[in-house]
Amino acid sequence: MPIPTNHAKTIRVTAKENAFNQLQQWIIDGTLQAGEKLNDTELAIALGVSRTPIRESLQLLEVQGFVKMFPGKATQVTEVDRNSITELLPPLAALQALSAELAIPHLTDEAIALLDSTNERFAEAVYTKDYFSALKIDEEFHRIVVDIANNSYILSMVESLQAHVRRLFFHNSIVLTEQSIEEHRQIIQLLQERDALTVAAIMRNNWLRAIDEFHSLPSN
């Protein structure tokens, strides 16, 4: 029989990867609430997997700081410390700034066009106050730069830190403003100009500015 060749290829993920991604997302968006005790049997039933990938996923989530495991007792979702943004963003800003520098030798016209179109989508989301979409697109914009830099160690660390940024967003610690749109445009222009020092500075400020914006928010 003829096999279609233009269909989307299925990306296979292991049971552990699927469980980890889902549990992490539930913790990030608050489906699994801070302080909640997790039962691996119940989670296994909910996700349709055995307890082994659940336990392996919980161990990875503990390494990332999303859960705390008490051997022989319980596994609990960690509390959200909104002030942790002051510790989270500086290393992420440094990694993103370094990525911008490392990306320059690998730039292509296609990459610049992708950054441009992504920032336009980001701007539309911000202008329409669709901040959840804006967060995802902003992450996509910065992921493009990291991908261009082509450094697997930076990518791994950024992915881990970015997950905590998403969690803080859901707890109203991250503010997305129109200023980021212009900073993204500057980053694109400076990348094209091969100005490594300035693009790194703008990229770093793009992340660190969120700390000042957080401290300007009304206290709950």
Per-residue pLDDT of the chain in tens (220 residues, 90 and over written 9): 333 344 343 345 688 889 999 999 999 988 999 999 999 899 999 999 999 999 999 999 999 999 999 887 889 999 988 888 899 999 999 999 999 999 999 999 999 999 999 999 999 999 999 988 999 999 999 999 999 999 999 999 999 999 998 898 887 766 778 999 999 999 999 999 999 999 999 999 999 988 887 777 655 5
d(CA 177, CA 203): 15
For domain 82-215, give its CATH number from 3.90.199.10, 1.20.120.530, 1.10.3720.10, 3.40.50.2300: 1.20.120.530
Q: What is the CA radius of gyration of the chain?
A: 19
**Structural fold of domain 15-77:** Arc Repressor Mutant, subunit A (1.10.10)
d(CA 50, CA 111): 41
d(CA 21, CA 16): 8
CB neighbour list of residue 39: distance below 8 Å, 6 or more residues apart: none
**Domain coordinates of the chain in residue numbers?**
15-77, 82-215
Which tokens is 211 given?
A: 């700390």
